[in-house]
Structure 1
Amino acid sequence: MNRPEKATRSHGKPSDDDDETTGLGLPVSLKRQIESYAVMHHMTPTQVLAEGMKLLLKQEALQQGRMNRTKPKARPCNKPFDAEERQYLCGLDAVDECGEKRITWNRYFIRYVEYELELGARPVDVFRSAGVGPEVIGRKRIERCVSRWRRQAAKERNEQ
C-alpha cells in the first residue's frame, strides 16, 4: 500500500510513518532521535547505539547481581609466601626468583611496567595482566615496586 508523503511533520507527535522500520528493524522515529542525539553530542549514530548497548548490558548485569560481587581481598602486609605461592610466582615470566619475603623481578617486566605506566595504565592493572595482582602479592608491594622503579629510571636519565 502506497502512502502519500507528508510535506511537513510536527515534532514530538507520533505520525503514520512511525510504524515503518529501517533496515535494522528500528522505527523511523527512533532513527531520527538517534541521529539528532548523535549530532548534539558529536558522535556517529553507530557510536550512539554502541553506548546504548553498553548501558543496557550494565543495567542487566546490575539487576542480576553480577556487578555487586565483592572484590578479592589484598594480601596482608609482611606475610611470608608459602611453598605453593613461591612455586606459582616462580612460574611466571615476570618473576626471576621468589623467596619467602622477596621477589626478584625480570628486568624486561620492569621495562614493560615503566612503558605501560607512561601510556597511562594503572600499576595494579599491569601487574594483574602479568598474573601478580594485589590478591597474590599485596597492594603495598605493587606501589613500592613501581615507586622504586620510577626513582631508578629517573636517576638513570639524570646520569646520562
Structure 2
Amino acid sequence: MKNKISVNLEVSLVEIIISILIFAIAGAIILNCFALSRFTQIKANDMIFAGNIVQSGAEMIKSFDNMNEAEEYFTKNYTDKNEAIDGITFINYYDKNWDVCDKEDEVYVVSITIADASINSRKLKDINITAEKSIPYPFIDKGTGITTLYEINTKKFFSDSGRR
C-alpha cells in the first residue's frame, strides 16, 4: 500500500509570496516610523537649544538701560550687523553642534532685530528674536527651506539717561 499525500503546491507558493509581501510592507512602515521619530526628536532638541539662545538674548535686552548698551553688547557678541533706516539686525551663525561659526558653515541662524516701534517715539523699540534652521529636517519638513525653531516678539522702552 502506498501512502499518497496530496499537496497543492500552487496554493502554498501563493500564500508564501503574500506573507512575504505583507512582512515587507510592515517592515517598510516600521522603518519609516523609526526615522520619523528620530528626526522629530532631533527637531525637539534643536528647539530646546534655540529657545535657550533666544531667551538669553531677550533677557540681555531686558537688562540694558539704554539702546547704546544693547548695540555695544550685540556688536561685540554677534557675527553680522545690518543697519536699516528703522532698525538694526544682529545675526549669529551656528553649526550643527550649536557652536558659533562662519556664514559658510552655518546650519542655524539666530537674528535679533531692534526697530523703532513708532515714528513719534524713538525710545520705544520693537524687538524680534528668531532662531531658524536653514536645512530642512528629513521626513518632517518636506518642501520647506527654512524652519523657524523659536521666535520672540516684544517691545522695550529705552530711556536716554538709563535707569534712575
Is the TM-score greater than 0.5? no
Report the TM-score when normalising by structure 1: 0.28
Higher relative contact order (Cα pairs below 8 Å, separated by 6+ residues) = 2
- Which one has the bigger strand percentage? 2
- Which one has the bigger helix percentage? 1
